[in-house]
Amino acid sequence: KQEVTQIPAALSVPEGENLVLNCSFTDSAIYNLQWFRQDPGKGLTSLLLIQSSQREQTSGRLNASLDKSSGRSTLYIAASQPGDSATYLCAVRIYNQGGKLIFGQGTELSVKP
């Protein structure tokens, strides 16, 4: 059974810091891994999608890496800003179960001005 874990559960940093969010999964049989952002009371916004054959994806100040063999992904945020404050969720899309997403519990990020 696929399980996804995110560490830390919460993180508070001063503005301008670079930071790393971690995601681990137990079964490497995945199509892809997706990082989402969720603002309080809102839906999910897709940030980055990494296919199982890829090692990393970049979008602006965000960089996500994937090491499928070790079951790990990281989301790197450069030069953090208060507007980055949100909950970040990772999810893996798994084989042979209709392609459903299995989510971690999220990391709540707070960037202080």
Size of the site for other proteins (CB under 8 A): 25
Shortest reach from residue 46's CB to other proteins, in Å: 5
93 binds other proteins (CB under 8 A): yes
| Cα separation, 109 vs 87, whole angstroms | 6
**Edge-to-edge strand order for the sheet containing 72-77?**
4-7, 19-25, 72-77, 62-67, 56-59
The only residue of 2, 22, 51, 63 in contact with other proteins, by rule CB under 8 A: 51
With beta carbons less than 8 A apart as the criterion, state whether 85 and 71 touch.
Answer: no
Give whichever of 32 and 80 is closer to other proteins, judged by the CB atom: 32
| Cα separation, 22 vs 87, whole angstroms | 13
Shortest reach from residue 86's CB to other proteins, in Å: 14
66 binds other proteins (CB under 8 A): no
